[in-house]
């Protein structure tokens, strides 16, 4: 079957760094997406990895290891506005996104 696993909730301190892990099992693989979703709002795109390695985009970076079925999202210099859910999604061979349940990130001052 297809499955995405990520932690349910994480807590971090303002100004710190946090790493949100995601493991995936998909039928075929056409990339790994990360989205941010604030409470009561729509998901918004953060990153897309299809090749192994680290992609950096400002304070956010995303890493992919296809051999391990593993990705992480790294958030640096945390701000209160980063409090949100972070959704990991793998794209399968039919170009369908398989979504994790999301990691709720709580930022404390």
Residues in contact with another protein by CB under 8 A are 4, 30-31, 33, 41-45, 48, 50, 87, 89, 91, 95-102
* Torsion (CA) 16, 55, 38, 40 in degrees, nearest 10: -160
Report, in Å, the least distance between residue 39 CB and another protein: 12
Helix (H) or strand (E) holding 96: none
Report, in Å, the least distance between residue 88 CB and another protein: 9
Nearest to another protein of 52, 77 (CB atom) = 52
Nearest to another protein of 78, 87 (CB atom) = 87
Report, in Å, the least distance between residue 80 CB and another protein: 23
From CA 57, how far away is CA 94, in angstroms rounded?
Answer: 28
Alpha-carbon torsion (25, 28, 31, 37), positive or negative: negative
């Amino acid at each position: 079957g297809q499955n995405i696993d990520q932690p349910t909730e994480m807590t971090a301190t303002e100004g710190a760094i946090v790493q949100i892990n995601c493991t995936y099992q998909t039928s075929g693989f056409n990339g790994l997406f990360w989205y941010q979703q604030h409470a009561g709002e729509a998901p918004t795109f953060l990153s897309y990895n299809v090749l192994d390695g680290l992609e950096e985009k400002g304070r956010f970076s995303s890493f992919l290891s296809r051999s391990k079925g593993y990705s992480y999202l790294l958030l640096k210099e945390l701000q209160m506005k980063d409090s949100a859910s972070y959704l990991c999604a793998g794209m399968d061979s039919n170009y369908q996104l398989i979504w994790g349940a999301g990691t709720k990130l709580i930022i404390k001052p």
